[in-house]
Chains A and B, each alone.
Chain A
Amino acid sequence: MIVAKLIDTTTCIGCKACEAACQEWNDQGLTVGVARSDDGTYQTLPDLRHDFWNVIKFNEATREDGSFTWLMSKYQCMHCVDAGCLDACPAPGAIFRRENGIVDFDHDKCIGCGYCITGCPFDVPRLSPVTQKVYKCTLCSDRTSVGLEPACIKACPTNCLTFGARDDLVRLADARAEALRSEGRGNAGVYNPAGVGGTNVLYVLEDATRPEAYGLPRDPTIPWQVRLWKGPIKWVGNAVLVGGVVGAFLHYLRYGPKEVRE
């Protein structure tokens, strides 16, 4: 069964219980940073960190009537179906997809090259300056593998977060977006970008016509540079290297060495 997480951004109240639960479950400490009054934000941190895998973003926006609103979003690994990090990784098994769709890292195999950071269209993996390994949300694979839901979902007080079978959640997300539209929020929709084959982290957005306002890329894809390298460049390169060695050997068999006659 492919699992997924649904984030209904319209019911997020910004309590950040999910952040605390994530930090606690993953044993990363609760004092990594606290927003100061002069930061002018309620966000815990401006960005993800190697030891902070889930940032609740308070995206500031203006409603049509000119009033202020927050477009809440939960910034974390999207667990893409076509994962750019995995395609870019040179170390076999360091990044892998579990049978349930979770994209996970094996830190014993990770070499810390950071190619996954370049391959990720959502800018999620982060390099630890201490271990020189890359970290990100595991969708609590150590909980889901024993039938528990991820820590963030367990902690959410508004049911803004739902965990379950991906197919069910896609239907639930569509129904929720439909309900929002019938309530008069005509731009409501689901964020499940096709460019990466869909994601196992789904969003319901109040304004799905402007994913950028939530800090989400409009049309994320695995970068063509990664595809080019892992595709044609590699085929041609391998052919050139093997061809060079074989060619030199055949040349020697056919023409032999350049002897100097005295």
Chain B
Amino acid sequence: MTAAGRVLRFSFGERVVHWMTAILFLYAALTGLALWSPSLFWLSNVFGGGDAVRRWHPWGGVAFAIALGLMFRNWSKDMKLGSEDRRWLRQAHRYAVHDENGLPPAGRFNAGQKVLFWTQSVSVVLLFASGVVLYWPEIMPRGLRLAALVVHPPTAIVSIAGIILHIYMGTAAVPGALRGMIEGWVPEAWARAHHPRWYREIVKR
């Protein structure tokens, strides 16, 4: 949809799901970091103390998983990685230094965003499975609990690292992206520059 030099990048529903996921992610990640290391346990004070973190971190995680599931339903079709994307990823270092000549034109999402999407999708499955095991220390078999102890934290770190990059890209590194995710609209020039293949498809419609 285009109007007066603007194009609709994200529908209201997509924006709601994105920000629901984002808030739940921040809650799960920060309360999780409180349990990650005793030296970060002070973070639990921000979220109501250690007892509250032990009680609500798991449910925050479940809610996050559900929100991510909705996001998956919205976007998984647009997130399919093609041969163009693989070519893009091989030259991602050039994207990082703003030398984008020769990079395959991005569709609705560029290959970096797609990799983030799939990283989070796989992570949430691992986090959920290991989290369920850790939730019941006296019911789950000890071997499973020990395995979960070496799955849950590193998976969370990968997930958080991805989101650090995502927040940087979405706010500072790509001006206009944050506004697109809040208000839904982006300038046509922005769409043409960052997602040319997607822009051409919308204009055709």
Q: Do A and B come from one complex?
A: yes
| Interface residues in chain A, defined as those with a beta carbon under 8 Å from any beta carbon in chain B | 88-92, 94, 109, 111-115, 117-118, 123, 126-127, 132, 223, 225-226, 228-229, 233-234, 236-238, 240-241, 244-245, 248, 251-252, 255-262
A258 and B173 in contact (CB under 8 A), knowing A90-B41, A111-B54, A241-B160? Answer: yes
Q: Are B36 and A91 touching (Cβ within 8 A)?
A: no
Count class of interface residues, chain B: 35 or more
Q: Which residue of B lies closest to A262 (CB)?
A: B189
Query: Could you tell me the distance in whole angstroms from the C-beta of B54 to the nearest C-beta in chain A?
Result: 4
Which residues of B pack against A, CB within 8 Å? 34-39, 41, 44, 50-51, 53-55, 96-98, 134, 137-138, 142, 145-147, 149-150, 153-154, 157, 160-161, 164-165, 168, 172-176, 187, 189-190, 193-194
CA distance A260 to B5 in the complex (A): 14
Given contacts A90-B35, A234-B36, A245-B164, contact A258 B194 (CB under 8 A): yes
Contacts of A248 in B (CB 8 A): 164-165, 168, 172-173
Pick the residue among B51, B96, B147, B193 that contacts A132 (CB under 8 A).
Answer: B51
Nearest opposing residue in chain A for B156, CB measure: A237
Residues of chain A within 8 A of B41, CB atoms compared: 90-92
Interchain CB contact under 8 A, A237 and B53: no
A240 to B138, CA, bound (A): 32
Whether the pair B137, A117 counts as a contact (CB closer than 8 A) is: yes
**Cβ of A237: which chain B residues have Cβ within 8 Å of it?**
36, 153-154, 157
Contact check, B96 vs A118: say whether CB atoms are below 8 A apart.
no
Identify which of A90, A233, A236 gathers the most chain B CB atoms within 10 Å of its CB. A90
Known: A118-B137, A260-B189, A260-B193. 15 other contacts (CB 8 A): A90-B35, A90-B38, A92-B39, A111-B44, A113-B35, A117-B138, A226-B149, A233-B150, A233-B154, A240-B161, A241-B157, A244-B160, A248-B164, A257-B172, A257-B175
User: Please, which residues of chain A bring their CB within 8 A of the CB of B187?
Assistant: 260
Write the chain A residue with the least CB distance to B41.
Answer: A92
Q: What's the minimum C-beta distance from A69 to chain B, rounded to whole angstroms?
A: 30
Contact A91 B157 (CB under 8 A): no
* 16 A–B contacts, CB within 8 A, in A order: A88-B149, A91-B41, A92-B41, A111-B54, A112-B51, A112-B54, A117-B137, A126-B138, A132-B51, A228-B150, A234-B153, A237-B36, A248-B165, A251-B96, A255-B96, A258-B175
Let me know if A113 and B175 touch, CB within 8 A. no
| CB-CB under 8 A for A127 and B38, given A244-B161, A248-B164 | no
Q: Using Cβ atoms and an 8 Å threshold, which residues of chain A touch B194?
A: 258, 260
Q: A209 to nearest B CB, angstroms? A: 25
Q: 5 shortest A-B CB distances, which residue pairs? A: A114-B137, A111-B50, A248-B168, A244-B164, A237-B157
Verify B146–A226 contact, CB threshold 8 A: yes
Residues of B within 8 A of A240 (CB): 157, 161
* Contact present for B54 and A113 (CB under 8 Å): yes
- Contact of A127 with B35 in the complex, beta carbons under 8 Å: no
